[in-house]
A and B are shown apart, each in its own frame.
Chain A
Amino acid sequence: MTTLTHLDRLEAESIHILREVAASMQNPVMMYSIGKDSSVLLHLARKAFYPGPIPFPLLHVDTTWKFKEMIAFRDALNDDPQTELLVHINQEGVEQGIGPFTHGSAVHTDVMKTQGLKQALDKYKFDAAIGGARRDEEKSRAKERIFSFRSAQHRWDPKTQRPELWSLYNARIKPGESVRVFPISNWTELDIWQYIYQENIDLVPLYFAAERPVVERDGIMVMVDDGRLPLEPGEEPMMKKVRFRTLGCYPLTGAVESSASTVTEIIEEMLRTTTSEREGRAIDKDAPASMEMKKQEGYF
Chain B
Amino acid sequence: MDGYAAPDFANIEEYLDSQLKKSLLRFITCGSVDDGKSTLIGRLLYESKMIFDDQLASLKNESKKFGTQGEEIDFALLVDGLAAEREQGITIDVAYRFFATERRKYIVADTPGHEQYTRNMATGASTADLAIVMIDARKGVLTQTRRHSFIVSLLGIRNVVLCINKMDLVGYDRDVFDKIEADYRAFAADFGFENIQAIPVSALAGDNIVDHSENTPWYDGPPLIEYLDTVEIASDVKDQPFRMPVQWVNRPNLDFRGFAGQILSGSLKPGDGVRALPSGKSSKVARIVTMGGDLDEAVEGQSVTLTLEDEIDVSRGDVLCADKQPAEVSDQFQATMLWMSDSAMLPGRSYVMKIGARECQMQVTEQRYRIDVNTRAHEAAKTLDLNEIGIVNIALDRDVAFDAYQDNRRMGGFIVIDRMTNETVGLGLINFALRRASNIHRQSMDIGKELRASMKGQKPVMLWFTGLSGAGKSTVANLVEKRLAAMGKHTYTLDGDNVRHGLNNDLGFTDADRVENIRRVGEVAKLMLDAGLIVLVSFISPFRAERRIVRQMVEDGEFWEVFVDVPLDVAESRDVKGLYKKARAGEIKNFTGIDSPYEAPTDPEIHIDADRLSPEAAADVVIARLEQAGLIGS
Contacts of A158 in B (CB 8 A): 82, 84, 93
Query: Is residue A275 contacting chain B, with contact meaning CB distance below 8 A?
Result: yes
Cross-chain contact of B262 among A3, A15, A53, A173 (Cβ < 8 A)? A15
Central interface residue in A186, A264, A265, by most chain B CB within 10 Å: A186
Query: Is residue A26 contacting chain B, with contact meaning CB distance below 8 A?
Result: no
Q: Are A194 and B20 in contact (CB under 8 A)?
A: yes
Q: Are B303 and A165 in contact (CB under 8 A)?
A: no
Query: Is residue A7 contacting chain B, with contact meaning CB distance below 8 A?
Result: yes
Q: Are B302 and A190 in contact (CB under 8 A)?
A: no
Q: How large is the interface on A (under 10, 10 to 19, 20 to 34, 35 or more residues)?
A: 35 or more
Query: Is residue A78 contacting chain B, with contact meaning CB distance below 8 A?
Result: no
**How far does the alpha carbon of A268 sit from the alpha carbon of B290 in the complex, in Å?**
30
Given the interface pairs A172-B417, A274-B52, the reply to whether A11 lies near B303 with Cβ below 8 Å is yes
Given the interface pairs A6-B22, A158-B93, the reply to whether A271 lies near B7 with Cβ below 8 Å is yes
Q: Are A51 and B250 in contact (CB under 8 A)?
A: yes
Q: Are A289 and B83 in contact (CB under 8 A)?
A: yes
> What's the nearest-Cβ distance from chain A to residue B425, in Å?
9
Q: Are A163 and B119 in contact (CB under 8 A)?
A: yes
Q: Are A292 and B9 in contact (CB under 8 A)?
A: no
Q: Are A170 and B424 in contact (CB under 8 A)?
A: yes
Query: Is residue B123 contacting chain A, with contact meaning CB distance below 8 A?
Result: yes
**How far does the alpha carbon of A27 sit from the alpha carbon of B250 in the complex, in Å?**
17
Residue of A nearest to B410 (CB): A166
Query: Is residue B509 contacting chain A, with contact meaning CB distance below 8 A?
Result: no
Residue of B nearest to A142 (CB): B95
Q: Are A49 and B422 in contact (CB under 8 A)?
A: no
Query: Is residue A38 contacting chain B, with contact meaning CB distance below 8 A?
Result: no
Q: Are A50 and B289 in contact (CB under 8 A)?
A: yes
Q: Are A22 and B409 in contact (CB under 8 A)?
A: no
**How far does the alpha carbon of A259 sit from the alpha carbon of B356 in the complex, in Å?**
48
Contacts of B360 in A (CB 8 A): none
Residue of A nearest to B412 (CB): A166
Q: Are A163 and B340 in contact (CB under 8 A)?
A: yes
Q: Are B96 and A135 in contact (CB under 8 A)?
A: yes
Central interface residue in A2, A11, A160, by most chain B CB within 10 Å: A2
Q: Are B93 and A2 in contact (CB under 8 A)?
A: no
Q: Are B96 and A186 in contact (CB under 8 A)?
A: yes
Q: Are B415 and A48 in contact (CB under 8 A)?
A: no
Query: Is residue B16 contacting chain A, with contact meaning CB distance below 8 A?
Result: yes
Query: Is residue A68 contacting chain B, with contact meaning CB distance below 8 A?
Result: no
Q: Are A20 and B247 in contact (CB under 8 A)?
A: yes
Contacts of B54 in A (CB 8 A): 275-276, 279
Contacts of B298 in A (CB 8 A): 2
Q: Are B126 and A166 in contact (CB under 8 A)?
A: yes
Query: Is residue A47 contacting chain B, with contact meaning CB distance below 8 A?
Result: yes
**Residue-by-residue, is A10-33 near B (CB-CB < 8 Å gives 1, otherwise 0)?**
111101100110110000000000
Q: Are A10 and B123 in contact (CB under 8 A)?
A: no
Cross-chain contact of B415 among A168, A174, A194, A273 (Cβ < 8 A)? A168
Contacts of A198 in B (CB 8 A): 20
Q: Are A23 and B248 in contact (CB under 8 A)?
A: yes
Residue of A nearest to B84 (CB): A158
**Residue-by-residue, is A274-300 near B (CB-CB < 8 Å gives 1, otherwise 0)?**
111001000000001100100000000
**How far does the alpha carbon of A93 sit from the alpha carbon of B291 in the complex, in Å?**
41
Tell me the dominant secondary structure on chain A's binding face: helix
> What's the nearest-Cβ distance from chain B to residue A101, in Å?
25
Chain B, 260-297, CB within 8 A of any chain A CB: 260-262, 267, 289-292, 297
**How far does the alpha carbon of A164 sit from the alpha carbon of B96 in the complex, in Å?**
12
Contacts of B23 in A (CB 8 A): 3, 5-6
Query: Is residue B104 contacting chain A, with contact meaning CB distance below 8 A?
Result: yes
Q: Are B52 and A53 in contact (CB under 8 A)?
A: no
Contacts of B258 in A (CB 8 A): 51
Q: Are A12 and B301 in contact (CB under 8 A)?
A: yes
Q: Are B107 and A273 in contact (CB under 8 A)?
A: no
Q: Are B82 and A140 in contact (CB under 8 A)?
A: yes
Cross-chain contact of A273 among B52, B86, B127, B357 (Cβ < 8 A)? B52
Given the interface pairs A19-B247, A165-B427, the reply to whether A143 lies near B81 with Cβ below 8 Å is yes
> What's the nearest-Cβ distance from chain B to residue A192, in Å?
12
Residue of B nearest to A145 (CB): B94
Query: Is residue B554 contacting chain A, with contact meaning CB distance below 8 A?
Result: no
Cross-chain contact of B98 among A48, A136, A163, A267 (Cβ < 8 A)? A136
Query: Is residue B251 contacting chain A, with contact meaning CB distance below 8 A?
Result: yes
> What's the nearest-Cβ distance from chain B to residue A279, in Å?
5
Query: Is residue A102 contacting chain B, with contact meaning CB distance below 8 A?
Result: no
Contacts of B20 in A (CB 8 A): 5, 7, 194, 197-198
Cross-chain contact of B79 among A46, A142, A279, A288 (Cβ < 8 A)? A142
Q: Are A163 and B123 in contact (CB under 8 A)?
A: yes
Q: Are B422 and A264 in contact (CB under 8 A)?
A: no
Given the interface pairs A5-B22, A264-B16, A274-B53, the reply to whether A168 lies near B303 with Cβ below 8 Å is no
Query: Is residue A76 contacting chain B, with contact meaning CB distance below 8 A?
Result: no
Query: Is residue B354 contacting chain A, with contact meaning CB distance below 8 A?
Result: yes
Query: Is residue A96 contacting chain B, with contact meaning CB distance below 8 A?
Result: no
Given the interface pairs A4-B301, A6-B23, A19-B247, the reply to whether A170 lies near B422 with Cβ below 8 Å is yes
Central interface residue in A13, A198, A264, A276, by most chain B CB within 10 Å: A276
Contacts of B267 in A (CB 8 A): 1-2
Chain B, 338-357, CB within 8 A of any chain A CB: 340, 352, 354-357
**How far does the alpha carbon of A274 sit from the alpha carbon of B12 in the complex, in Å?**
19
Contacts of A186 in B (CB 8 A): 96, 98, 107
**How far does the alpha carbon of A49 sit from the alpha carbon of B256 in the complex, in Å?**
12
**How far does the alpha carbon of A190 sit from the alpha carbon of B16 in the complex, in Å?**
11
**How far does the alpha carbon of A38 sit from the alpha carbon of B222 in the complex, in Å?**
41
Query: Is residue A227 contacting chain B, with contact meaning CB distance below 8 A?
Result: no
Q: Are B22 and A185 in contact (CB under 8 A)?
A: no
**Residue-by-residue, is B29-42 near A (CB-CB < 8 Å gives 1, otherwise 0)?**
00000000000000
Give B residues with C-beta under 8 Å from A.
Answer: 7, 9, 12-13, 16, 19-24, 52-55, 58, 62, 78-84, 86, 93-98, 100, 104-105, 107, 110, 119-120, 122-123, 126-127, 247-248, 250-252, 256, 258, 260-262, 267, 289-292, 297-299, 301-303, 305, 316, 340, 352, 354-357, 409-410, 413-415, 417, 422-424, 427
**Cβ contacts A to B, 27 pairs, < 8 Å:** A1-B299, A2-B267, A3-B299, A4-B299, A8-B301, A10-B24, A12-B301, A12-B302, A12-B303, A19-B303, A50-B290, A143-B82, A143-B96, A163-B122, A163-B340, A165-B127, A165-B413, A174-B422, A197-B20, A264-B12, A268-B9, A273-B52, A275-B52, A275-B54, A289-B82, A292-B81, A292-B82
List the 8 closest pairs (A to B, CB-CB), nearest first: A52-B252, A289-B83, A139-B81, A15-B303, A276-B52, A50-B291, A6-B24, A6-B105
Q: With A23-B316, A50-B290, A166-B126 given, can you name 7 additional A-B contacts, CB distance below 8 Å?
A: A15-B303, A16-B247, A16-B261, A48-B260, A139-B82, A140-B82, A276-B55
